[in-house]
């Protein structure tokens, strides 16, 4: 998408080789706005990119599902990973 169709942009660099880009853009054909979430990952051959386009009318359902997923992770998976990491460190 060209810069003139972009209304907002935010990037997040991680400790790994990934950068995430969050943009609000406008579709040239019909003017509908959408959120573009891009992942850019450094590889030995250059960069690998993945994109999700989320139209504004779908944001509430997407956020609800994302929140449920994060809550599940925080209450179920994260405690197990924390205990596993503790045990691994203690055995080293």
Task: State pLDDT tens for residues 43-56.
Answer: 999 999 999 999 99
Domain limits for position 87: 3-91
Distance of alpha carbon 80 from alpha carbon 76, whole angstroms: 7
Q: How far is CA 21 from the centre of its chain?
A: 8
pTM above 0.85, yes or no: no
Residue 60 belongs to a domain with what CATH number?
Answer: 3.10.450.700
Question: What are the residues facing 39 on neighbouring strands?
Answer: 20, 50
Task: Name the domain count of the chain.
Answer: 1
Residue 67 has pLDDT above 90, yes or no: yes
Q: What are phi and psi of 33, to 5 degrees?
A: -90, 150
């Amino acid at each position: 998408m060209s810069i003139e169709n972009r209304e907002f942009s935010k990037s997040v660099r991680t400790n790994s080789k990934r950068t995430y880009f969050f943009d609000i853009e406008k579709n040239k054909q019909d003017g509908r706005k959408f959120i573009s979430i891009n992942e850019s990952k450094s590889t030995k051959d250059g960069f690998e990119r993945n994109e999700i386009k989320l139209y504004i009318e779908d944001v509430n359902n997407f956020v609800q599902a994302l929140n449920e997923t994060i809550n599940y992770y925080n209450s179920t998976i994260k405690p197990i990973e924390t205990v596993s990491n503790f045990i691994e460190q203690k055995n080293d």
